[in-house]
Amino acid sequence: MRILNRLSLLSASVIGLAAAGVALPQSVSAQAVVQPLPPREAADLNDALRRLARSPRDLGALLDAGEASVQVGDIDAAIGFFARAQDIAPDNGRAMLGLARCFTLQRQPIEALRLYAEAENAGIPEAAMAADRGLAFDLVGDNASAQALYRAALAQGNDPETRRRLALSLAMTGNRQEFEATLLPLLESEDRSAFRARAFGLAILGDADDAVGIAEALMPTDLALRMAPYLRYMPRLTRAQQAAAANLGAFPRANEIGRDDAAIASYAPANPRVARGAGAA
């Protein structure tokens, strides 16, 4: 039986709400606001839960419930479902992959990368995990490996979120020309999230005034004013911190700016990972 540390979800910070394009009211209640669930994902979750009610050790239902929980944003619940699936089938690749995705979203990239490797060894195709695994590499500051995986994922299909992640990773490595070119198709289609990504990317590249200008154009004045200091701090963050802020809306505490925690700071791959397969070329 595998023992997994259940991680508590981080509270949404102002940077996270801004990255999600959420306008905050003047007074924000401490109580959670219940949002309607996406119909398809909610239906998938309800179906899996009904199957589990009939058979609590139904491996397929546990995996489906975990994947649906990730889609509706309940990462703690997803970890629980995937952990139960691992108890039943310790070598199940889908369970490993599901846990890897959860740990990525909860900013535990070292554990996530270990699980991605185990999922690959268990037979999960690299293409099935490339985009999420790429984010885990960005979260440890290994942008070269991340970019190779994002490109491999995009070779399988043009996913806007993966394209935004690639653009941000390119900004982290100072490649402004490719950053702009990667985002351009999304900007031309008026993808609002692409404009947010461009604001973060410009801030990372040191163009704080233009980044703040985008925030002012996208957000209510009071939120844009609160967002501006975070954008101006982006160049001072480590690459891992930039990835967490830009992709997951998680900004470090003031005393942690420019300093990674010990686990990430000690991460040093011998060689950047190169995605395999025809798509990698």
User: What is the chain's pLDDT, residue by residue, as a tens digit (281 residues)?
Assistant: 443 333 332 223 333 333 333 333 332 233 333 445 467 888 999 999 999 999 999 999 999 999 999 999 999 999 999 999 999 999 999 999 999 999 999 999 999 999 999 999 999 999 999 999 999 999 999 999 999 999 999 999 999 999 999 999 999 999 999 999 999 999 999 999 999 999 999 999 999 999 999 999 988 888 888 889 999 999 999 999 999 999 999 999 999 999 999 999 988 765 555 444 433 33
CB 151 within 8 A of CB 167: no
CA distance 224 to 215: 6
Rg (Cα) of the chain, in Å, rounded? 19
Interior angle at CA 90, CA 88 and CA 96, nearest 5: 110
Tokens of 125: 């195709």
CA distance 170 to 168: 5
Question: What is each CA distance from 255 to 26, 122, 259, 279, in whole angstroms?
Answer: 27, 40, 8, 41
Smallest CA-to-CA distance from 224 within 210, 241, 212 is with 212
CA distance 192 to 196: 7
- Kindly write down the DSSP assignment for every residue of 50-71, as one continuous string: HHHHH-TT-HHHHHHHHHHHHH
The pLDDT value recorded for residue 36 is 53
Q: What is the pTM of this model?
A: 0.81
CA distance 103 to 129: 13
The pLDDT value recorded for residue 123 is 96
CB 260 within 8 A of CB 238: yes
The pLDDT value recorded for residue 273 is 52
- Kindly write down the DSSP assignment for every residue of 239-256, as one continuous string: HHHHHHHHHH--PPPGGG
